[in-house]
Amino acid sequence: MASIEDFKSIISQKGGVARTNKFRVLFTPPKGSLFNIDPEAIIGSLFGGSTGNFDAKNLINDPRAVSFLCSGAALPGTQIQTLDFQAQKQTTKIANTYIHEEVTLKFILTNDYYIKKLFDNWLGQVVDLESHTVGYKDDYSCDIIIQQLNSKNKVVYGVKLFEAFPTTVTGIEFDAGAENAYGEMSVTFSYDRYEPQGPVSSTLTGVGSVLEVFDN
């Protein structure tokens, strides 16, 4: 029978346990969703509103802020679907195909509602809410990288979602009794496929995603 010391030894050999609060999410939203042309916010800032002084740099949202404001994520799961196969008098299950679970990310809301406006714009690129026309997938999708980090913030595992786009943006709840709480919103993404990545390949993919931010 294994002892607690054996268990501790195995955990130590494997580099410790994976911490669910050590993660990173990297992606560059479609360019159209990064524009922050909000006349009311601009006028409010010019007249000393709560958003502060007007700064032309704020007209284009910095996509790197998405990573910092992401407060929750999940690695995607996969389900193998089966069919019943009749072999003589016995029925067995055989693999038929597979489906990937959608991925939900959670974001912290700031007082300028940066994340909310970004995804409002992004959804408008997927389906125009006024004309009800659907956009081209190449224009409204992007790759998303989700990484598990260790205690030293080094990548130990990663997943790359290809051609991802938001399908559900949750509502925002208010609570008069929660004085010290902050606002959050969740976004569910669909994607074509995902690719598991090791520490090196995921780190390189993440660097490429950051460089893409500057290219845009």
Per-residue pLDDT of 27-76, as tens digits, reads 988 876 655 545 455 444 444 554 455 454 455 556 678 889 999 999 99
Give the integer Cα–Cα distance in Å for 166 and 195: 19
Find the radius of gyration of the CA atoms of the chain.
22
Segments of the chain with pLDDT less than 50? 37, 39, 42-47, 50-51, 54, 56-57, 214
Q: What's the helix, strand, coil split of the chain in %, to 5?
A: 30, 35, 35
pLDDT in the model for residue 166: 97
pLDDT in the model for residue 85: 86
pLDDT in the model for residue 212: 61
Q: What SS3 state is found at 50?
A: coil
Whether the CB-CB separation of 32 and 139 falls below 8 Å is answered with yes
Q: What SS3 state is found at 196?
A: strand
Q: What SS3 state is found at 93?
A: strand
- Cβ-Cβ contacts under 8 Å for 108 (sequence gap 6 or more): 69, 71, 115, 182, 183, 184
Q: Which amino acid is at 153?
A: N
Residue 99 β-bridge partners: 79
pLDDT in the model for residue 88: 76
pTM for this entry: 0.80
Give the integer Cα–Cα distance in Å for 91 and 210: 52
Give the integer Cα–Cα distance in Å for 174 and 138: 35
Q: How many CB atoms lie within 10 A of CB 23?
A: 19
Host H or E run for residue 66: helix 64-69
Q: Which amino acid is at 11?
A: I
pLDDT in the model for residue 42: 42
Whether the CB-CB separation of 156 and 149 falls below 8 Å is answered with yes
Q: What is the dihedral of CA 132, 135, 168, 124, to 10 degrees?
A: -70
Whether the CB-CB separation of 161 and 90 falls below 8 Å is answered with no
Whether the CB-CB separation of 146 and 197 falls below 8 Å is answered with no
pLDDT in the model for residue 4: 86
